[in-house]
Amino acid sequence: MKPFKIPESVLVVIHTPALDVLLIERADAEHFWQSVTGSKDRLDEPLVETAVREVFEETGIRVANGTPVPAAALTDWQHEIQYNIYPRWAHRYAPGVTRNTEHWFGLCVPENTAVTLSPREHVAYAWLPWEAAAARCFSPSNGDAIRQLPLRVR
Q: Is 35 annotated as a binding residue?
A: no
Cα radius of gyration rounded to whole Å, the chain: 15
Q: What is the DSSP string of 31-77?
A: T-EE-EEEE-SSTT--HHHHHHHHHHHHH----STTSSS-GGGEEEE
**CA max distance for the chain:** 45
Taking the CA atoms of residue 20, residue 22, residue 25 and residue 31 in that order, the dihedral angle to the nearest 10 degrees is: -20
Distance of CA 30 to the CA centre of its chain: 17
Q: Is 58 annotated as a binding residue?
A: yes
Q: Is 85 exposed, middle or buried (0-12, 13-18, 19+ CB in 10 A)?
A: middle
Q: Is 139 annotated as a binding residue?
A: yes
Q: Is 9 annotated as a binding residue?
A: no
Q: Is 147 annotated as a binding residue?
A: no
The binding site consists of 5, 26, 37, 54, 58, 121, 139
The binding site for Mg(2+) consists of 54, 58, 121
The binding site for substrate consists of 5, 26, 37, 139
